[in-house]
């Protein structure tokens, strides 16, 4: 019998981290590796935010804080939710954690009982199903299709709901596809939820500000105010403000749920870093103009990658509305043989052969629950993207 817990045995380690580790190994061995695996912007944290953190250190804001966040940050979050999303929340309805990841984890730990089902549209961010498993629940994947730009339909959601369904986890714009649901596309899903009052929605709005070509971000409680009492709106500063290392995420929702999440946090990590909390206040309250500037860079890179991938025979790459990922379909490459003699039987084999034969690191689609695909993060320089896409083109052109 293993010393390790049965719960942990049900969970797999993060495949995205595995890809990064493999790429680092090959780099250390001398291969010229271009990493398109990382899920973080390549920009530096803005100066005003760094300055706020320095001020926090200098003024002694270096002690324990309230378990789920300082009041200044909760107020800034309420103001943000009103300003950007038209949502009314009070500080007591807000919880702050060490990254969006901990927010989601706390919420699932606080609510899942054995047998509870959590609907997760696929492809999904790798951590959702494993967090549900850790919390004792059962993940239920609902697959989007390439034809529908990887989004799920109302009929699919309706069919997945059972008396045991506890949550729908919703993520738009999405990691790994970048797909964003328009107001109308989201409304048909919230209409389904209205018919099932026992189902709550956990919306992961982490990529809210990374929205392109006039795409208007919307979130469930805004689109359907009747869902307000059973919605947990999750967001954070990691992606929009280039603050992945600072570890601040937050959620707003019903007080009872927020209190339960605080209880989980109080017996695990206590408060998120005090200095990061003051930096996050500045991120949310300070100037927002660089968001649009960053998005111009992301759009340029997205267009470069999408057009170079679509030039490849065997690959189809939709143009996403947001985030900094694309999720090309590689159905046309499956069954072929690479120059080095590898038979491409699935997307994991494709990604491994691509890395070993060309040095380009991407994450295979099976990790995100929809195949055959791979995920490209284009949060890296134009030069690196051009070189990486050229290598992918050559790799695919030599498949036979």
Ligand X SMILES: Cc1ncc(COP(=O)(O)O)c(C=O)c1O
Which residues bind to ligand X, rule: CB under 6 A? 39, 99-101, 125, 171, 175, 204, 206, 236, 238, 244, 249
Q: Select from 220, 229, 263 the least CA-distant residue to 111.
A: 263
Nearer to ligand X, 137 or 322 (CB): 322
Residue nearest to ligand X (CB): 99
Query: Three-state SS string across 131-142, please?
Result: HHHHCCCEEEEE
User: Minimum CB separation from ligand X for residue 107, in Å?
Assistant: 12
Smaller CB separation from ligand X, 101 or 301: 101
Q: Rounded to the nearest whole angstrom, what is the least distance from the CB of residue 99 to ligand X in the complex?
A: 3
Least Å distance, CB 243 to ligand X, is: 8
Residues 6+ apart with CB under 8 A from 269: 97, 98, 102
Rounded to a whole number of angstroms, the minimum distance from the CB of residue 10 to ligand X is 21
Residue 204 CB, nearest approach to ligand X (Å)? 5
Establish how many alpha carbons lie within 13 A of residue 291's alpha carbon, considering only the half-sphere containing its beta carbon: 20
CB of 376 to ligand X, least distance (A): 14
Nearer to ligand X, 46 or 249 (CB): 249
| Both tokens assigned to 381 | 């320089």
Q: Which is nearer to ligand X, 126 or 333 (CB)?
A: 126
Nearest to 277 by CA among 317, 248, 301, 240: 248
Does residue 265 contact residue 69 with C-beta atoms inside 8 Å?
Answer: no
CB nearer ligand X, residue 110 or residue 363: 363
**Is residue 22 a contact partner of residue 361, using CB atoms and an 8 Å limit?**
yes
CA dihedral sign of residues 119, 122, 127, 129: positive
Q: Which is nearer to ligand X, 280 or 396 (CB)?
A: 280
Question: Minimal distance in Å, beta carbon 100 to ligand X?
Answer: 4
CA–CA–CA angle 238, 211, 87 (5° rounding): 75
Question: Cβ–Cβ contacts within 10 Å for residue 256, how many?
Answer: 9
CA–CA distance, 252 with 13 (Å, rounded to integer): 29
Q: Which is nearer to ligand X, 75 or 244 (CB)?
A: 244
């Amino acid at each position: 019998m293993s010393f390790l817990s049965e719960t942990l045995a049900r969970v797999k380690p993060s495949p995205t981290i595995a890809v990064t580790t493999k790429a680092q190994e090959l780099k250390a061995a001398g291969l010229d590796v271009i990493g398109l695996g990382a899920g973080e912007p390549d920009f530096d944290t803005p100066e005003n935010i760094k300055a706020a953190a320095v001020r926090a250190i200098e003024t002694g804001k270096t002690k324990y804080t309230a378990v789920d966040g300082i009041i200044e940050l909760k107020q800034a979050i309420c103001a943000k939710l009103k300003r950007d999303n038209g949502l009314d929340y009070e500080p007591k309805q807000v919880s702050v954690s060490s990254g969006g990841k901990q927010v989601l984890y706390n919420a699932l730990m606080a609510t899942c009982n054995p047998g509870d089902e959590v609907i997760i549209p696929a492809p999904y961010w790798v951590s959702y199903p494993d967090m549900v498993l850790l919390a004792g629940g059962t993940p239920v994947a609902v697959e989007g299709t390439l034809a529908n730009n990887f989004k799920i339909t109302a009929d699919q959601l309706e069919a997945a709901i059972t008396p045991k369904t506890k949550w729908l986890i919703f993520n738009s714009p999405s990691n790994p596809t970048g797909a964003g649901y328009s107001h109308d596309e989201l409304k048909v899903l919230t209409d389904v939820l209205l018919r099932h009052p026992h189902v709550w929605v956990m919306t992961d709005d982490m990529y809210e500000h990374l929205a392109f070509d006039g795409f208007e971000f919307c979130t469930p409680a805004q689109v359907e105010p009747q869902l307000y009492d059973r919605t947990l709106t999750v967001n954070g500063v990691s992606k929009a403000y280039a603050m992945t290392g600072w570890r601040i995420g937050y959620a707003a929702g019903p007080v009872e749920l927020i209190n339960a999440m605080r209880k989980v946090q109080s017996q695990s990590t206590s408060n998120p870093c005090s200095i990061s909390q003051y930096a996050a206040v500045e991120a949310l309250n300070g100037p927002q103009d660089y968001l649009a500037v960053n998005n111009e860079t992301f759009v340029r890179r997205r267009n470069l990658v999408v057009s170079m991938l679509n030039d490849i025979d065997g690959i189809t790459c939709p143009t996403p509305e947001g985030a900094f990922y694309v999720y090309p379909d590689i159905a046309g490459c499956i069954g072929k043989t690479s120059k080095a003699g590898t038979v491409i039987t699935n997307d994991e084999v494709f990604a491994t052969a691509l890395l070993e034969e060309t040095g380009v690191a991407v994450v295979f689609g099976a990790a995100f629950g929809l195949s055959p695909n791979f995920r490209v993060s284009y949060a890296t320089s134009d030069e690196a993207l051009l070189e990486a896409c050229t290598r992918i083109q050559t790799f695919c052109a030599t498949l036979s």
